[in-house]
Amino acid sequence: MSAAKTVDQSALLPESLRDDFPILSRDILEGHPLVFLDNAASTQRPRQVIDAISNVYEHDYANVHRGIHTLSERSTELYELAREKVRAFVGAKHAREVIFTPGTTASINLVARSWGGANLQPGDEILTTVMEHHSNLVPWQQIAAETGAVLRHVPITEDGRLDMAAFDQLLSERTKLVAVCSISNTLGTINPIDEITSKAHAAGALVLVDAAQSVPHMPVDVLKSDVDFLAFSGHKMLGPSGVGILYGKESLLDAMPPFLGGGSMINEVRLDSFTPAELPAKFEAGTPPIAPAIGMSAAIDYLNHIGLEAIHRHEQVLTQLAYDALSQIEGLRILGPAPKHRAGLVSFAFERIHAHEFAQVLNDQFGVAVRAGHHCTQPLHALLGISASTRASFYFYNQPENVDCLLEGISAVQSMFAPQGRRRRRKHNS
Amino acid sequence: MSAAKTVDQSALLPESLRDDFPILSRDILEGHPLVFLDNAASTQRPRQVIDAISNVYEHDYANVHRGIHTLSERSTELYELAREKVRAFVGAKHAREVIFTPGTTASINLVARSWGGANLQPGDEILTTVMEHHSNLVPWQQIAAETGAVLRHVPITEDGRLDMAAFDQLLSERTKLVAVCSISNTLGTINPIDEITSKAHAAGALVLVDAAQSVPHMPVDVLKSDVDFLAFSGHKMLGPSGVGILYGKESLLDAMPPFLGGGSMINEVRLDSFTPAELPAKFEAGTPPIAPAIGMSAAIDYLNHIGLEAIHRHEQVLTQLAYDALSQIEGLRILGPAPKHRAGLVSFAFERIHAHEFAQVLNDQFGVAVRAGHHCTQPLHALLGISASTRASFYFYNQPENVDCLLEGISAVQSMFAPQGRRRRRKHNS
Amino acid sequence: MPSEEELYQEHVLDHYEDPFHRGTLESATHAHEDKNPLCGDVVRIELKLNDEGKIENLYFTGDGCVISQASASMLLEELYGKTVDDLKDFSAADMLTLYGPRLTPNRQKCCLLSWKVLQSAVHSPLAEGGES
Amino acid sequence: MPSEEELYQEHVLDHYEDPFHRGTLESATHAHEDKNPLCGDVVRIELKLNDEGKIENLYFTGDGCVISQASASMLLEELYGKTVDDLKDFSAADMLTLYGPRLTPNRQKCCLLSWKVLQSAVHSPLAEGGES
Ligand SMILES: Cc1ncc(COP(=O)(O)O)c(C=O)c1O
Ligand SMILES: Cc1ncc(COP(=O)(O)O)c(C=O)c1O
């Protein structure tokens, strides 16, 4: 029986949303419309976002800021409107707390180099976790090496949740910053950010949240959660590639030295010295990603129109469906916690069959796009004793039928690669 | 008489190229089609580039690298093809010497932090010039402050060319790097890059060329010019916003430590350490600007189709035209050298009328977009004894008639702001 | 373009050519100077406050575009003889209204420079015989 | 999808299930191991070279996807009894041809892992009684 038939339809978003996404109606395989389950890596774009990008180039484009002519005024206005949209979307107080960056990775590096470089002393501790994406590990390794600070890692529990008892023990007055993902891109685990910020603040530490996997999928409120820094990417939330966000509390950003140097981030430049600009320009050196930022604001409009609560609910249905079905498969190990603790993705490893086989056959024979590999979480994979996993990650345009396709494909892979006593044709007698 | 009528038509590119640019046919002012002379800040995009961006989102988009599924294979292929296009465009040996960055500013910062951080010692000298854009000054100020290296600046001659006699004197065995623009974005000066690299190399120094203003406008050959690092931006050469290039010689890039940390730039990550990836991934942390890079490759196709020699020749005609006419205007001071030493832009200052007035009136009454301000070259403006200038910068889609519009507008501004013995209505008797 | 939208209305140009109190004030008790680094506009305002917080006199010097200089003239004319409290009540929006023609965000910066300088100037007493 | 394009042709799966010389070689003179960090494929090749540069015997161990392991088996079978010069002449393109089904660039990396390891192995003599 199709698992898709059993779900609570009322929690689902209408399938008609798919019509907004041109790529979703293309056949990848003849007769197989695309089943795109690689959304944690990057999502697809609706017509509304693609058009927003074309529109700005066709009607409103010029370099932003300082320009007096009409096009520069227009693009500046659209660019700053995008900043305001992002502010409202994450619940920040001031638009100047929103910095446009090239992406999550760039945002985290900015904080590591600017805040970390100015504030970390030998022996200071940065507390991160074993489930972090490389982008929330390597920058801290780099700045720790530079400043003499020490990196500590919160372990996970048996079932793949953050070990909060260990967190409590690791957190100390030496901890200067906690760098943690809101949702693990491999385990799917939703971390208790509010609890983390309140404990970290009580210990005198700041909190940077790698929200690459949460901002696109569920409501976020930086004020309510009292987050100090929040990093995420446009391309994982329907937005164009080439733009991301760093949110930071004004007082923190104000006190930080500039990071990259160049046009826009300055107030006054002499041959030998400069004074930095005010926020947000201070952290936006050079021509910013103008059209990508404007496209991102169209993505936010689109997401707001659906509603982040509704998106989350929809994804919960798909996740439960996939989880339940995958749990039945012998030899298949689901990474991470039970559905109620996880967001819309499921990664798994199979005893004898490599993740590549799943990704390849699912693609070639079922038109299903999943990711195989370490998903930029090598330390987590090492900890779990595997070198790769297969990940199916959902977005609101996926439907229960897509999960059925996935399951059908997994069965096919299982039988295809089951030992069959094959013998190779002998070339040598050895 | 219209200046436009006097030019050598054979050196001009066909006006029909304008039809490729949707924005150029829009009226900014009723009845005044757009005369876009702010190309040094950022150019417009042809339909071919806009379509390339839409196309990738509609047909081929997924995150690049490592993905086994069809869309990821396709976007990876297009992304790497873009790298190869850039390689051929600048005449580099290997595609792995081409790093995609967010822009010129980011490219220069990468070299300053990675190469500079690893190689500069107290007392070492970085030789730059007084005509540099803030993006080729501030990053060197920052790394000099960090390493104890010293910044020196090549002055300019009376007529706004690089003072090569002074360059010879400033260059010494203490000089570790020469950071110089190939074309000044304010003076328009074309600098003698080949001479600079050969002298610098003889002195044991490397050369970074800020080619933001040259790559879009004239042929470049990094091998022939023996350039060590070359930085430029997609948005100044018909490409999307959000992407730029750092070219570096393989041996140099190989020896440099990574800059930003995160996904992609690693080979192996453990909780406490990482090993960097090979080139070019080593310097491309995080999800790169996928669609912008692919759009940039469409821009390169477009430019190659016209030919960079032809573009340069066309712009020379416009520049000569503008220069000759502006030279006739009393009280108007052209910044920078005679046409034969300059590229396609003309900046000027007027005795009694502020640059803002020119930009505003040219826009509001003539539909002409020019830039007013310091064009991110405050030290140069200070040196010239002015706080702002007006800049008209050309591209191949500008025609002699556009120069006529500019000249007409300038006349209008002159008479509009000429002293007329006006008296304000008295409110007070004081 | 309708004439009431013209950025450079007659009264703007009148102020530019025939400014109110352009110059320095010997008897100044307060002064402040600032610039708009993006375009190089500079305005300095010197003023004389009495003990009741009345702006007895005020003068400006500066350099920059028509909007920055004409708006300074208009502002000084408007606040001449008023009090520090009046100035506090005089918002950025009031300044833009006083100027007249509607301005794009970039040009608003030009128009608001003198307003910002004056707001700071009343809190910047000159040291006895010294400079602020 | 035409069967000749199938990535997992019968002969590939045959090699996967019934590999040529999977195991270790006691008498090995040379050995090398490498991995494809992006997907975790690992291959180690141990081989015995005689003084004339003939590959007298060779074995592989490893872990990874079908392509990485089956290709190792095919490569070893192909080079068994050949010389170091033959190996030098055996290009990456030859390896892809030997494998058979056309591979996308990403999967070529899987297929070429053992080829790279073997190219290095012949230059990696084992220390007397030691490890390489
Ligand atoms: C000479 C020069 N260098 C550097 C830059 C900075 O380029 P971007 O803003 O794209 O980083 C520019 C453009 O403004 C420029 O003209
Ligand atoms: C949890 C997490 N953090 C960081 C990143 C890095 O984002 P980007 O590649 O857009 O910089 C990702 C996406 O791969 C992610 O899933």
Q: What's the pLDDT tens digit per position in B381-398?
A: 999 999 999 999 999 999
Average pLDDT, chain B: 96
Whether residue D3 is predicted with pLDDT greater than 60 in this model: the reply is no
**Is the pLDDT score of D131 beyond 60?**
no
Please report the pLDDT score of residue D1 as a whole number. Answer: 40
Ligand 1 contact, B133 CB (< 6 A): yes
B36 touches A: beta carbon within 8 Å: yes
3-class SS of residue A386: coil
Task: Tell me what the mean pLDDT of segment B296-305 comes to.
Answer: 98
The CA A39 to ligand 2 mean position distance, Å, reads: 12
* Interchain contact B243–A (C-beta under 8 A): yes
Instruction: Locate the chain B residue with the closest alpha carbon to C35.
Output: B387
- Dihedral sign (CA C105, C106, C107, C111): positive
pLDDT at A380 over 70: yes
Chain C residues in contact with B422 by the CB 8 A cut-off are 10, 13-14, 16-18
Mark yes or no for CB contact B38/A103 under 8 Å: no
Angle at A137 between CA A135 and CA A143, to 5 degrees: 105
pLDDT in tens, C94-103: 999 999 999 9
**Nearest atom of ligand 2 to the alpha carbon of A102:** 11
pLDDT beyond 80 at D130: no
- Identify the residue whose C-alpha is closest to ligand 2 atom 16: A185
**For chain B, what is the radius of gyration of the CA atoms?**
23
Q: What share of chain A is helix, strand, coil (3-state, %, to 5)?
A: 45, 20, 35
CA distance A92 to chain D (A): 37
Query: How much is the pLDDT for C1?
Result: 39
**B-chain residues near C67 (CB < 8 A):** 356
Q: Is A286 in the pocket of ligand 1 (CB under 6 A)?
A: yes
Would you name the residues of B annotated as active-site residues? 376
The CATH class that applies to domain B49-305 reads alpha beta
DSSP strands (E only) in A264-335: 266-269, 274-276, 332-335
Share of chain D above pLDDT 90, in %: 82
pLDDT given for residue C129 in this prediction: 52
Is the pLDDT at A39 greater than 90, yes or no? Answer: yes
Which residues of chain C carry a pLDDT beneath 70?
A: 1-5, 128-132
CB contact under 8 A, B241 and A292: yes
Q: Name every chain A residue with its beta carbon within 8 A of the beta carbon of D57.
A: 430
CA distance D124 to chain A (A): 24
Of B287, B286, B264, nearest to B276 by C-alpha is: B264
Tell me which of A180, A185, A190 to substitute to probe ligand 2's pocket, judged by most ligand atoms within 8 Å of the beta carbon: A185
Tens digit of each residue's pLDDT (9 = 90 or more) over A134-143:
999 999 999 9
Q: How far apart are the first and last CA of chain C?
A: 44
User: Closest partner residue to A427 among D16, D37, D77, by Cβ?
Assistant: D77
Contact C60/C22 with Cβ under 8 angstroms? Answer: yes
pLDDT digits (tens, 9 = 90+) for B191-241: 999 999 999 999 999 999 999 999 999 999 999 999 999 999 999 999 999
Which pLDDT score is estimated for B378?
A: 96
Asked whether at least 3 C-beta pairs link C and A within 8 Å, the reply is yes
For residue B13, give the nearest of B352, B251, B315, B224 by alpha carbon: B315
Task: Give A81-119 pLDDT, tens digit per residue.
Answer: 999 999 999 999 999 999 999 999 999 999 999 999 999
Q: CB D40 to CB A374 under 8 A?
A: yes
- Output the pLDDT for position D128: 64
Please say whether the beta carbons of B140 and B125 come within 8 A.
no
Average pLDDT of the residues in A379-392: 96
What are the two backbone dihedrals, phi and then psi, of residue A87, each rounded to the nearest 5 degrees?
Answer: -55, -50
Confidence of residue B416 (pLDDT cuts 50, 70, 90): very high
What residues in C contact B374, CB-CB < 8 Å? 38-40
Which pLDDT score is estimated for B4? 67
Q: Average per-residue pLDDT in chain A?
A: 96
- What was the ipTM of the complex prediction? 0.95
Bigger pLDDT: D1 vs A365: A365
Per-residue pLDDT, averaged over A258-266, amounts to: 96
Average pLDDT over residues A382-397: 96
pLDDT of res. A393: 98
Could you tell me how many CB contacts below 8 A there are between chain A and chain B?
A: 318
Three-state secondary-structure class, residue A347: strand
Q: What does the pLDDT average to over B110-133? A: 98
Top residue of A387, A389, A390, A423 to mutate, by most chain D CBs within 10 Å, is: A387
Contacts 24+ apart (CB under 8 A), C74-79: C74/C15, C74/C20, C74/C98, C74/C99, C75/C114, C75/C115, C75/C118, C76/C20, C76/C21, C76/C45, C76/C114, C76/C118, C77/B427, C77/B428, C77/C15, C77/C20, C77/C21, C79/C55, C79/C118
Task: Specify the domain boundaries for CATH 3.90.1150.10 within chain B.
Answer: 3-33+308-417
Neighbours of D, requiring at least 3 CB pairs below 8 Å, are A, B
Those chains having 3 or more beta-carbon pairs within 8 angstroms of chain A are B, C, D
For chain A, the maximum distance between any two Cα atoms, rounded to a whole number of angstroms, is 82
Min Cα distance D36 → chain B (Å) is 9
Cβ pair D17:A420 closer than 8 A: yes
For residues B265-273, give the mean pLDDT: 95
- Residue A66's pLDDT is 74
Q: Which chain D positions have a beta carbon within 8 Å of B72's beta carbon?
A: 106
- B55 interfacial to chain A (CB closer than 8 Å): no
What's the B68 CA to ligand 2 centre distance in angstroms?
A: 18
Residue A3 has pLDDT above 70, yes or no: no
Q: Do A374 and D39 touch (CB under 8 A)?
A: yes
Read off the pLDDT band of D4 (50, 70, 90).
very low
Q: Which residues of A are catalytic?
A: 376
**pLDDT above 90 as % of chain A:** 93
Q: How far apart are CA B325 and CA B408, in angstroms?
A: 11
- Express each pLDDT in B22-68 by its tens digit: 999 998 888 888 999 999 999 999 999 999 999 999 999 999 977 88
And the tokens for B143?
């790394």
CATH architecture of A3-33+308-417: Alpha-Beta Complex (3.90)
| Pairwise CB contact (< 8 Å): B260 & A363 | no
- Mean pLDDT on D20-35: 96
Label each residue of A143-164 as H, E or C.
Answer: HHHHHCCEEEEECECCCCCECH
Whole-prediction pTM: 0.96
* A109 interface with B at CB cutoff 8 Å: yes
**Are B242 and A286 an interchain contact pair (Cβ–Cβ within 8 Å)?**
no
| Residue B286 banded pLDDT, cuts 50, 70, 90 | very high
Between CA D106 and CA C1 the distance in angstroms is 60
pLDDT at D105 over 80: yes
Task: Bin B336: left if φ > 0, else alpha if -120 < ψ < 50, else beta.
Answer: left
What's the pLDDT at A428?
73
Verify whether ligand 2 is closer than 6 Å to residue A213 (CB atom).
yes
Looking at the predicted structure, is the pLDDT value of residue A4 above 70?
no
A→D contacts (Cβ < 8 Å), by residue, are 29, 354-357, 360-361, 364-365, 372-374, 378, 381, 386-388, 416-417, 419-425, 427-428, 430
The CATH number that domain C4-121 falls under is: 3.90.1010.10
pLDDT tens per residue, range B174-197:
999 999 999 999 999 999 999 999
Per CB-CB distance under 8 Å, the chain B contacts of C65 are 354-357
Are D105 and B76 an interchain contact pair (Cβ–Cβ within 8 Å)? Answer: yes
Distances (CA, A) of D61 to A382, D20, D28, D77: 20, 11, 13, 14
Q: CATH 3.40.640.10 residue ranges in chain B?
A: 49-305
Of C1, C64, C73, the CB nearest to B354: C64
Interchain contact A12–B (C-beta under 8 A): no
